[in-house]
Every structure is written in structure tokens, then in C-alpha cells.
Structure 1
Amino acid sequence: MSGRGTRSDRAVATQQSILAAAEQLFAEHGVANVSNRQIGLAAGQGNNTAVSYHFGSRSGLIRAIVRAHTEQIESIRLRMVEQAEGSTATRDWVACMVEPFALHLADLGVPSWFARFSAQVMSDPSHREAVARESLNSPSLTRAVEEVHRCLPDLPEEIRLERQDMTRQLMIHMIAEREDALANGRPTSRGSWHRAAAGLTDAVTGLWSAPVSTGASDMVPEGAVTGGP
């Protein structure tokens, strides 16, 4: 029993080492530029097949990294959704969409790599969908998006979808830029993750509340100028 327990403990420790090494390497260099051998070496594994042995595939490894963070992010978002219950203020529900990711990074401390990892993976077409399924389809996030839609009932469907994409891009890449600045000792515009999260929430709320230009629909030719400078 103790022997089996020891082997199991070692396997878990090895998996955690691989996850940590892969997350950092993917964050710094991109998924396509990092080999399984590099991940194994960074994790202290001399066996070139350690990654595939423990996670089956590159996609399996990436999903495991996401899952390692999703539970904590979901816990923060569930708490915020409970606090926002009954609110008709768009900002309250936008905060539930945006802030849990940033607040999770505050809990991780400096340096962290998950925001930059997320930006790298979401920019990779071969892995984007798998990550989206793991991280963007949580019940609490779905609820927050539904409530934002309920607060803004007059938005056309195509505008809702467009602004959801904009929100995702802003959330992932702005948070990744701040994480990178903190990790490399560069100044940031906000003194803490909590203030940065609040500022991003303000901006995204403005995005969702922005007016829709007359005729701003699929009928407008691509590339047409419909607004000001």
C-alpha cells in the first residue's frame, strides 16, 4: 500500500512539474515553438516521452493547464454572481465576466504565466477551441453573459456576438500585457490587480453600452466607413 502510495505521489509531483514548466514555456515562447523534450527538461525529466506518458497529447497537456486554473477562477466568479443577484446594472454583470481572471492572477502573485499562456493559446487556431471549451463555457460565465444581454435588450444579435468577441480579446490580451509588465519589472498604469480589473470592467461596460450606428449590420459592406475618424 505504502509503495503504491509513494509511486502515486511521485506521479502527481511529476505531472505538476510538467504543467508548471509547460505553462511558463508556452507563455514565453508560444505553443508551436516549444517541444515536448524542452518541457520535459525544464520539468527535470530526462525521459523524452514524459509529456505524452502523463498527458497523452499536446492538446491534453494544454487542457490540463487550463483546468488547473479554472476551478479557482470559477470559485471567484460564482461568488461575484451571487453578490450581483438581482442587479439590473450592466457593470455588475460585466465585472462577473471580466474580473475573476485578473483576481485569480492577484492570488498567484508575481511572476505568473497563466494570462500570457492564455493569450498564446487563444491565438493558436489548432488549440483555441479546446481552451474555449475548458474556460469560456462555465455555468457562472454563461450566466453573467446572459445577464448582460438582459440588461441591454435592444442590442441586435450580431452586435451582441461582436461585442462578446471584443470583450474576450480585451480581457485576455490586456491582462496578459499587465502580467508581462509585472513579471519583467515594467511600470503599469494601475497599482494593483484589483484596480486593473476595475478599470478593465469600466472600459468593457462602455463597450457594451456604446450606441449602435444606424445600419450597422451585416448589410454594411466590409471596409465601408460608417463613423467618424
Structure 2
Amino acid sequence: MPRDARATRERLLRAGARLFAAEGVDAARTRDIVALAGQGNDSAITYHFGSRRGLLEAVLRAGVDRMEPARLAALPRLDPSDLRGIVAAVVEPIAGELRTEEGRDFLRVVAQVSGRAGIRGHAVPGPIEGTAIARQLALLEECCLGFLPAALALERIAVMIAFLAAALADRTGRVGRADCADRAGPAGGSLLGHDAFVVDLIEMLTAALAAPHRAAPDGLAQAGA
């Protein structure tokens, strides 16, 4: 791809991330994305990404790609029976996105689409297909199947992902632009430093996945719920 075309693509990608994050993946207007990228023709998105959906998937894949080296490095050390270790490997790279403005936009987009991931149906979303995070999630499922029925394991993992995405998106509005150091929050309260926040998040998610479970009362269980 020529240098100018690559630069245009990157500007569209960044503008898409910014407006999807700020206005919503369904509400952000294509013309505003194009204008923010400094382009004069709405067809620029079609040319570079195939469609608006293609742009959204490219925004998500860009974030996944930023985390890929850390996730690949962690994979060989993961023990399929170590629930906390797997949760930490899933959480730490994406929590690192809090440290940059681009990463925070990505997290706000992820929070909007996390419910569409298809975890309960064993679907692998396109932006993570063939990546280290997909392998980490497969290990997480394998671990959970050691102490949970299959349907409940998938349900808990889906809820974990939704909770993780929501917690990180909430955090994006509370941290500074450049770092996640301890500081006074917007209302004067204390904001946990980045490392403390991540450790506590890992502990909460691990505890939620490992919580005792009970069979549903007769007549209340619904197939496919």
C-alpha cells in the first residue's frame, strides 16, 4: 500500500476509534468519522475497510494486535489448572490499554461489543480468531470445565468478559492521560493505582469463576438459557 494510502487508513482507524468510543458504535456518523480523519469523501471507509463494520473490526483488531506480543510471551507459562494464572494472563495486557488515550478509546469500544462475542455459543469473534487471546480463552474454558458443568462454565466466562470490559471502560473516565498513578479522583476521593486496580480485578474475576454453584430448582432450569 502506498505511504499516503497507509497514512489515510491510519487516520480513519484513529478517527473511527475515537468516535465509536465517544458516541457509540451504532450512533457515530460515518460522515463525522471521515471528517475527523481529514477526508472529504464518505467512500474512503469503503475503500480502506470495505464497510463501516469493517472499520469497527479493524479498530478492534488493532487493539488485539497491540496486546499480542505480551499474550504470546505468557502462553508457554500458563498451567491449564491454574485458574488465577490464566485470568491474570487474560486481564493484564488489556488493562495495560488504560495507559494511553488510544488504548482507552479501544476499551470503550470493547465494552460496547463484549456482549456480542458469542462465548456462550462457542463462537470466536473475527478480531481475535487465531490470536493468543483466543488460545488463552480456550485454556480458561478448559480450566473451568474441571470444576463446572459445561453450560455454566461458558456462562461464567461470558459474564467475566462482560464485567472485565465494563470495569475497564469505567476506569477510562477516571485515569489521567499519561499514567495510572495514585491521585485524587474527580470527586476528591482516592483512585487506586494501576497495579492495585489490576490485582484486585484479577482477584474478583477469579473468585467469581470459582464460586460454588448449585443445581437449578426443578422446573426453573431452561434449556438454552
Q: Which residue of the partner structure matches residue 180 of structure 2? A: none
**CA distance in 2: counterparts of 1:202 and 1:94, whole angstroms:** 9
**CA distance in 2: counterparts of 1:44 and 1:188, whole angstroms:** 39
Question: Deviation at 1:74?
Answer: 2.0
Structure 2 residue ranges without an equivalent (≥5) = 178-184
Q: Which residue of the partner structure matches residue 120 of structure 1? A: 112
- Greater helix content: 1
Q: Which residue of the partner structure matches residue 80 of structure 1? A: 74
Q: Secondary structure at 1:153's aligned position in 2? A: coil
**CA distance in 2: counterparts of 1:209 and 1:142, whole angstroms:** 20
User: TM-score normalized by structure 2?
Assistant: 0.79
Q: How does 1:28-107 map to 2 (within 5 A)?
A: 28-84=22-78, 86=79, 88-106=81-99
Question: Deviation at 1:219?
Answer: 5.3
**CA distance in 2: counterparts of 1:145 and 1:219, whole angstroms:** 32
**CA distance in 1: counterparts of 2:213 and 2:80, whole angstroms:** 24
Q: Which structure has the larger Rg over C-alpha atoms?
A: 1
Question: Deviation at 1:80?
Answer: 2.2
**CA distance in 1: counterparts of 2:103 and 2:54, whole angstroms:** 25
Q: Which residue of the partner structure matches residue 154 of structure 2? A: 161
Contact 1:19–1:65, Cα closer than 8 Å, also in 2: yes
**CA distance in 2: counterparts of 1:78 and 1:13, whole angstroms:** 28
**Which residue type is aligned with residue 25 of structure 1?**
L
**CA distance in 1: counterparts of 2:203 and 2:145, whole angstroms:** 16
**CA distance in 1: counterparts of 2:70 and 2:103, whole angstroms:** 20
**CA distance in 1: counterparts of 2:125 and 2:150, whole angstroms:** 21
Structure 1 residues 13, 93: closer, same or farther in 2, change over 3 A? same
Query: Which digits, 9 at most, give the CA deviation of each residue in 1:199-226, with x for residues without a partner?
Result: 111001001110012x23895347xxxx
Q: Which residue of the partner structure matches residue 197 of structure 2? A: 196
Contact 2:80–2:143, Cα closer than 8 Å, also in 1: no
Structure 1 residue ranges without an equivalent (≥5) = 223-229
Query: Which digits, 9 at most, give the CA deviation of each residue in 1:112-158, with x for residues without a partner?
Result: 311001112345x6xx5699321376344434542563366131111
Bigger RCO (CA 8 Å, 6+ sep) = 1
Question: Deviation at 1:52?
Answer: 1.6
Structure 1 residues 22, 38: closer, same or farther in 2, change over 3 A? same
Q: Secondary structure at 1:220's aligned position in 2? A: coil
Q: Which residue of the partner structure matches residue 13 of structure 2? A: 19
Q: Which residue of the partner structure matches residue 226 of structure 1? A: none
Q: Secondary structure at 1:32's aligned position in 2? A: coil
User: TM-score normalized by structure 1?
Assistant: 0.78
Deviates more, 1:134-143 or 1:50-59: 134-143
Deviates more, 1:202-211 or 1:111-120: 111-120
Question: Deviation at 1:38?
Answer: 0.6
Structure 1 residues 43, 63: closer, same or farther in 2, change over 3 A? same
Question: Deviation at 1:104?
Answer: 3.4
**CA distance in 1: counterparts of 2:130 and 2:90, whole angstroms:** 11
**Which residue type is aligned with residue 220 of structure 2?**
V
Query: Which digits, 9 at most, give the CA deviation of each residue in 1:66-113, with x for residues without a partner?
Result: 1212122122122222333x474321111112222112333x358731
